[in-house]
């Protein structure tokens, strides 16, 4: 049974206000380290995930938490995402590099998986104090406002999130391209109609399970590059998000056409 959306929203907000926001633009050298070359982790990431882990399992007894920082310390925990029980997937500070740089483009993301599929998710922006949430089959909301994807437009007018070689290949073939280095912001841009599409590669569940459900519940089309549905436990894949099926097909065809 999915716990109260509002209860989990309040819990996430409280943890962010206690452990993340007070450290924003106040990090010391001792608060920042590298878990891998080029991958930062801060005290805010570690402390907020630690507390969220305790509180989320209290909300739903018998559940387990798979967090980004927990997996960094114990990689075998990632295998729990493919289990059949209740799994919380947590990204305590999505956009850690932005957070460490003092840029207000970061968020806390949480998803609840049951029977290997995402059934609820939350994305919280601490600086703006904005909470987006969704439950499978119930729509997506930013506060009390229902989220809806943008109306379909021609490929050349589609604004979207791209990175790396895909961005270079599609430049000039689609509308404006952006990359905020924060999946939470990018997913919300599609879910609320501020962007038309997003393409992601390397699908770590804490980066994608929360936002992917939100886009679908906002009316968007979400499928992997091979046309199959997104699966939180399968990481080595590419994901395309678009306003509708026809837009998704057109974008996929363009990506495949221009692929090296």
pLDDT tens digit string along 114-150? 999 999 999 999 999 999 999 999 999 999 999 999 9
C-alpha closest to that of 167 among 198, 193, 189: 198
**Which pair of tokens denotes residue 166?**
């895909």
pLDDT digits (tens, 9 = 90+) for 189-205: 999 999 999 999 999 99
- Structural domain span for residue 137: 5-146
Across the range 107-113, mean pLDDT stands at: 98
Burial of residue 145 (CB within 10 Å: 0-12, 13-18, 19+) is exposed
Structurally, the chain folds into a number of domains equal to 2
- CATH code, 190: 3.40.190.80
The predicted model scores a pTM of 0.96
Provide the Cα torsion 133, 104, 166, 90; round to 10°. -40
Question: Does residue 173 sit in the same domain as residue 124?
Answer: no
Residues linked to residue 135 through DSSP beta bridges, in sequence order: 120
Phi/psi at 95 (nearest 5 deg)? 95, 40
Question: Does residue 45 sit in the same domain as residue 111?
Answer: yes
Question: Does residue 93 sit in the same domain as residue 195?
Answer: no
Question: Does residue 140 sit in the same domain as residue 163?
Answer: no
Question: Does residue 162 sit in the same domain as residue 179?
Answer: yes
Among 114, 146, 178, residue at a domain's last position: 146
pLDDT digits (tens, 9 = 90+) for 18-57: 999 999 999 999 999 998 888 899 999 999 999 999 999 9
Question: Does residue 9 sit in the same domain as residue 138?
Answer: yes
Residues of the chain with pLDDT > 70, as a percent, come to 100
Provide the Cα torsion 237, 238, 244, 248; round to 10°. -120
CB 25 within 8 A of CB 126: no
Question: Does residue 195 sit in the same domain as residue 98?
Answer: no
Among 105, 123, 146, residue at a domain's last position: 146
CB 41 within 8 A of CB 18: no
What distance in Å separates the CA atoms of residue 166 and residue 104, rounded to the nearest whole number?
A: 26
**Which pair of tokens denotes residue 114?**
């049951």
DSSP for 34-92, please give it: EEETTEEEEHHHHHHHHHHHHHHHHHSTT-EEEEHHHHHH-GGGGGGGGSSSEEEEEEE
CB 242 within 8 A of CB 174: no
Among 124, 146, 168, residue at a domain's last position: 146
């Amino acid at each position: 049974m999915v716990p109260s959306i509002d209860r989990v929203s309040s819990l996430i907000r409280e943890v962010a206000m206690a452990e993340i926001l007070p450290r924003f633009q106040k990090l010391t050298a001792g608060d920042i380290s590298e878990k891998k070359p080029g991958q930062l982790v801060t005290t805010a990431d570690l402390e907020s995930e630690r507390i969220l882990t305790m509180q989320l399992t209290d909300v739903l007894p018998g559940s387990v938490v798979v967090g980004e920082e927990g997996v960094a310390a114990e990689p075998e925990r990632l295998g729990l995402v493919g289990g059949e029980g209740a799994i919380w997937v947590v990204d305590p500070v999505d956009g850690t590099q932005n957070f460490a740089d003092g840029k207000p483009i970061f968020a806390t993301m949480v998803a609840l998986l049951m029977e290997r599929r995402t059934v609820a998710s939350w994305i919280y922006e601490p600086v703006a104090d904005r909470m987006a949430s969704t439950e499978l089959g119930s729509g997506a909301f930013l506060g009390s406002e229902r989220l809806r994807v943008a109306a379909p437009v021609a490929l050349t007018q589609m604004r979207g999130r791209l990175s790396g070689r895909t961005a270079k290949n599609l430049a000039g073939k689609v509308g404006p391209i952006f990359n905020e280095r924060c999946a939470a912001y990018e997913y919300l841009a599609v879910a609320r109609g501020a962007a038309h599409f997003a393409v992601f590669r390397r699908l770590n569940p804490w980066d994608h399970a929360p936002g992917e459900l939100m886009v679908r519940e906002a009316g968007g089309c979400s499928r992997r590059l091979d046309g199959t549905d997104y699966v939180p436990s399968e990481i080595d894949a590419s994901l395309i998000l678009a306003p509708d099926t026809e837009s998704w097909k057109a974008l996929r065809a363009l990506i495949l056409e221009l692929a090296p």
